[in-house]
Every structure is written in structure tokens, then in C-alpha cells.
Amino acid sequence: MRQHVYFQTSKPPSSPLSFATPLTSVFSLMKIYTTPVPAGVLLTAALATIAVPPVSAQDPPPSVVQPGAPGQPTRTLTPEQATALGQPTHVEADIRFMQGMTFHHAQALAMTALLSMNTQSDEMRLLARRVDISQTAEIGMMRRWLEARGRRAPDLEDEDIWPLSDDDLMPGMLTDRQMIQLAAARGNDFDRLFLEFMIEHHEGALTMVERLFLVSGAAQEPEIFQYLTHIDADQSMEIGRMNTMLLARR
């Protein structure tokens, strides 16, 4: 006679089916629970049990980064340094830069004015047009910037306020003798001389930008900082273009 083995609990079963199971049925259940579970199911279950910690009130504040001059690294400020900076404002060096760069740009326009009579090159005329458009717009911007801060914008029609001697010129500006030399040149000679002088002129503007960045507290206002970085990028690009043009004429 075949006998069955039963597993019993400490409590009396309410029914044979609920608490007493034949051994063969137990083996079947064991087979079910030992069937391999796909890895994806296990991973999903594990991720579901990971608790996301709440954001602590002691988390460090976000970093404040101060941009550097063109080609220079940025600087991460401490909360105390960032608070001490306050609202950026202009300094006297910013005023002098904007006034001086107005004269600097005006001389570039005087140089391009000679092109209509002294060159036969359409490429040179296109270069002059680009310089005219950009620097005329920038002179207007500098004038508005100065007037908004209660400072006088240079009157470019008043010859008495132009630099009086070569020693007063901003970096890269042509002397009176160089301007006369440029005005007397014609054709290819003019083109070469114009390119040489304008490259020198643009390099002088980059020197002015570099010097301003070295002044403590200068170039902090967003508007003037953006303008300085624009000069650095735009005039560097034009110097490269003019060097290529000059090589083709030598």
C-alpha cells in the first residue's frame, strides 16, 4: 500500500488542502521557485528598492565663475568673494579706453576713405567696406556707452581734441607722416602699404584690450567685457585675412 508523507504546521489544519501537501506537490512548488529569473527583472527589482536620498539643506551652494581675459583661464569664486564683487561697475580706465578707441576707430575710417581713389582692387574695396561698417557701428556704441555714464564722447570733428603728437597716439595708430605716405601711394604699392598699416593698426587695438584687462577693477561691466572680447575675436580674424592678402601681393 502506497503511503503519502505530509508536512504539518503547529496549528491544526482547517482543511487537508490548506496545510498538508503531498511530497510530490512540494517538489513541484520547489521547481517553480527555483526557475531562473531573467536578469532584467532582477535589475528592475533591485533599482526599485534603491531610495533616493533627500536633498540636504547642508549641500554646498553653486559655484560662481568669473571669466578671464581672452586666452586666460576663468576663476572660481568663493561665496564671500562673489558677494564682495557686488554689481559690476565701470572704472576710470574703462572711460579712457572707450574714448581712446573712438579715436582709434576714426583713424581706421580715415584710412579706408583713401581706397576709393588709390586702389584698383575690388578685394581691397570689399575689405574697406567691412571695416567701415563694423567700426562705424562700434563708434556709435562707444558714444552711447559714454553718454549713458555721464561722460563726454569725443567730438571727432574737433581737431583740437585729437592727439597732439605722436607720443599721445594709442597703440597702432599711424603718425602724420605715415598717413601722408599712405595718401601718396597708388595701385599695388598703396594696397601693400595699406595692408601693412592696417595690420599694425589692428594689432594696436588688441594691445589696448590686453592692457585694459590688466587694470584692477576694469572691464567688469558685462557690456564692456562683451565688447572687448568682440574686438579680440573680430580684429584677430581680420589680421589673418589681411596677412593672406598681403602675401599674395609680395
Give the domain range for residue 7.
1-33
Residue 125 CA to residue 108 CA, distance in Å, equals 14
Domain for residue 151, yes or no? yes
Domain for residue 75, yes or no? no
With beta carbons less than 8 A apart as the criterion, state whether 157 and 145 touch. Answer: no
Q: Which helix (H) or strand (E) holds 162?
A: none
pLDDT given for residue 21 in this prediction: 45
Q: Which residues of the chain have pLDDT under 50?
A: 1-34, 37, 40-51
Would the pTM count as exceeding 0.85?
Answer: no
Domain for residue 112, yes or no? yes
* CA 201 vs CA 20, 95, 101, 169, 235: distances in Å: 102, 21, 11, 11, 10
* CA 96 vs CA 19, 103, 175: distances in Å: 97, 11, 20
119-148 residue pLDDT tens: 999 999 999 999 999 999 999 999 999 999
User: Within 20-56, where are the H helices?
Assistant: 23-33, 39-48
pLDDT given for residue 226 in this prediction: 96
pLDDT given for residue 53 in this prediction: 52
Residue 75 pairs in a beta bridge with 66
With beta carbons less than 8 A apart as the criterion, state whether 102 and 155 touch. Answer: no
CATH code at 118?
Answer: 1.20.1260.10
Q: Do 13 and 120 fall into the same domain?
A: no
With beta carbons less than 8 A apart as the criterion, state whether 219 and 228 touch. Answer: yes
